[in-house]
């Protein structure tokens, strides 16, 4: 049966046991931090696609990579290799998209994702985000991005348990401010349901994809959440490669949108 305009549905392509998995929200955020993080994990761990998320409100596009058409919103699963002692590795799931969901679909999309995460008995949901930092003073120097050692990652959790376990001992708590979009909805829903949702906010540039901020979040995930940490050596170079790839995709999508707007009137799809 066709979906209504504000409905969201998850289709599983492959049935995989993801009980206890850490789930990454990879929808675009400030500096595309979440998208870069999710794509980095997918590429590095060679995660396999296990499903798609569908809605009439999503962009009418097919993202073609290596000759294979890809849905605008995809679900991947995988895990880091076991450590030298042979101990089991963490399960990871990533929801990823290169496009901003329309504002009207954000709430049903976020709640559908959290419904699925809870039904699959995953352990927690993580939303990587960029945090816009105002320049301290005008002039060319203030426009430079902060050095890696100076970049900060802030955290907020939906439950007291998650706050005490992950946030307080490991990073600066995010105590005042506004978190919007998918991350904001899943935080609120996580609190209402008593489910652990974490948002990691890295200082980021708002006007272009920020691989450095994304890499800082990946370092945080690596350090705090993974029992079998990823190799940090290629992290920054790979994040920069993904940054360029996502920037190219968004530019092409914007050009296509402008071309379509000149041929037929339609409501805006993206924010």
Domain boundary assignment for the chain: 17-131+148-263
Query: What are φ and ψ of residue 78, in 5° steps?
Result: 180, -165
pLDDT of res. 266 = 41
DSSP string, the chain: -PPPTT--EEEESS----TT-EEEEES--GGGHHHHHHHHHHHHTTPEEEEEEE-TTS-S--EEETTEEE-SEEEEEE-PPP-TT-PPPPPEEEEEESSPPPGGGHHHHHHHHHHHHHHTT-SEEEEEEEEE---SSSSGGGGSPPPGGG--EEEEESSHHHIIIIITTTSEE--SS---HHHHHHHHHHHHHT--EEEEEEEE-SSS--HHHHHHHHHHHHHHT-SSPPPSTTHHHHHHHHHHHHHHHHHHHHHHHHHHHHHS-------
Assigned CATH topology for domain 17-131+148-263: Rossmann fold (3.40.50)
For the segment 20-63, what is each residue's pLDDT rounded down to a tens digit?
A: 999 999 998 888 899 989 988 998 899 999 999 999 999 888 88
For the segment 219-251, what is each residue's pLDDT rounded down to a tens digit?
A: 999 999 988 777 666 767 777 777 777 777 777
- Which residue bears the tokens 């009980």? 19
For the chain, which residues score pLDDT lower than 50?
A: 86-88, 135-146, 265-271
Distances in whole angstroms, Cα of residue 100 to Cα of each of 6, 28, 35, 95 = 15, 6, 10, 13
Judge contact between 131 and 162, C-beta under 8 A.
no
Cα first-last separation, the chain:
29
**Structure pTM?**
0.82
pLDDT of res. 142 = 38
pLDDT of res. 260 = 61
Query: What are φ and ψ of residue 246, in 5° steps?
Result: -65, -40
pLDDT of res. 140 = 40
């Amino acid at each position: 049966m066709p979906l209504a305009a504000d409905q969201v549905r998850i289709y599983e392509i492959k049935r995989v046991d993801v009980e206890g998995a850490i789930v990454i929200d990879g929808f675009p955020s400030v500096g595309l931090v979440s998208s870069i993080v999710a794509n980095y994990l997918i590429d590095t761990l060679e995660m396999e696609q296990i499903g798609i998320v569908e809605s009439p409100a999503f962009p009418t596009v097919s993202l073609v990579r290596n000759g294979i058409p890809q849905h605008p919103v995809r679900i991947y699963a995988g895990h880091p290799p076991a450590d030298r002692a042979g101990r089991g590795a963490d399960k990871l799931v990533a929801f990823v998209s290169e496009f901003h969901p329309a504002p009207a679909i954000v709430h049903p999309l976020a709640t559908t994702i959290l419904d699925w995460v809870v039904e699959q008995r995953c352990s927690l949901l993580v939303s990587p985000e960029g945090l816009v930092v105002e320049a301290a003073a005008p002039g060319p120097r203030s426009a430079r991005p902060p050095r890696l050692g100076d970049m900060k990652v802030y955290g907020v959790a939906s439950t007291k348990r998650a706050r005490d376990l992950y946030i307080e001992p490991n990073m600066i708590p995010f105590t005042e401010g506004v978190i919007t979009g998918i991350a904001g909805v899943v935080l609120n829903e996580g609190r209402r349901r008593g489910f652990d949702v974490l948002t990691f906010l890295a200082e980021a540039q708002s006007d272009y994809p920020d691989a450095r901020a994304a890499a800082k979040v990946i370092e945080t995930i690596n350090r705090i959440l993974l029992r079998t940490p990823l190799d940090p050596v290629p992290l920054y170079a790979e994040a920069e490669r993904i940054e360029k790839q996502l920037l190219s995709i968004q530019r092409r999508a914007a050009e296509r949108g402008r071309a379509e707007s000149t041929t037929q009137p339609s409501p805006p799809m993206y924010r």
